[in-house]
């Protein structure tokens, strides 16, 4: 399930991006600020950002779509990222991923029906020595296993 995409007004968007307009290379900080405000980069923000920065809609879209971290729709309350890079795969990452996805009943990139968890792939968290690695709401977890991840998600839900 996906959460409804927020529909901010042009004025709302302008207010969020205004503090960043004088920065050098303002586009990425603005996209982060927009995502912080609405949990995603809504389509409505693209033309407003383009106008403010003297860019075209296409250019802004190109940047937004390049970075997987910028979302089209808000994530669930928790974001679980599982590493699928070589070292983690060698240490059983694939089985772990299958177990977690199966238990939550979602595929990659999806959010559970109750809106609690979004599961995303990630390609290396720099934690290869402690593979398989995962990340729960921005916190890295080494030597992850299904039980540990369950516990962390339950802890967050509480």
Q: Which residues are annotated as a binding site for [2Fe-2S] cluster?
A: 83, 88, 124, 128
First to last CA, the chain: 21
Per CB under 8 A, does 130 bind another protein?
no
**Smallest gap from residue 146 Cβ to another protein (A):** 29
66 part of the interface to another protein, by CB under 8 A: yes
- Residue 111 burial by Cβ neighbours in a 10 Å radius (0-12, 13-18, 19+): buried
Write each residue from 25 to 64 as x if it is in contact with another protein (CB under 8 A), else as -, in one continuous string. Answer: ------------------x--xx--x---xxxxxxxxx--
Q: Is 65 an interacting residue with respect to another protein (CB under 8 A)?
A: yes
| d(C-alpha 68, C-alpha 63), whole Å | 10
Residue 2 to residue 5: CA distance in whole angstroms: 8
Integer Cα distance of 52 and 135 in angstroms: 34
Binding-site ranges for another protein (CB under 8 A): 43, 46-47, 50, 54-62, 65-66, 68, 72
């Amino acid at each position: 399930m996906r959460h409804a995409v927020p529909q901010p007004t042009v004025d709302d968007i302008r207010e969020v991006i205004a503090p960043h307009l004088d920065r050098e290379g303002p586009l990425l900080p603005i996209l982060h600020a927009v995502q912080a405000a609405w949990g995603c980069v809504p389509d409505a923000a693209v033309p407003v950002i383009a106008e403010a920065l003297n860019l075209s809609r296409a250019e802004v879209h190109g940047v937004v779509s390049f970075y997987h971290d910028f979302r089209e729709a808000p994530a669930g309350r928790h974001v679980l990222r599982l590493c699928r890079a070589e070292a983690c795969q060698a240490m059983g990452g694939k089985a772990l991923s299958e177990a977690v996805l199966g238990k939550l009943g979602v595929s990659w990139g999806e959010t559970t029906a109750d809106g609690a968890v979004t599961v995303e792939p990630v390609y290396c968290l720099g934690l290869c020595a402690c593979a398989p690695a995962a990340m729960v709401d921005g916190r890295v977890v080494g030597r992850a296993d299904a039980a540990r991840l369950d516990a962390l998600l339950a802890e967050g839900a509480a």
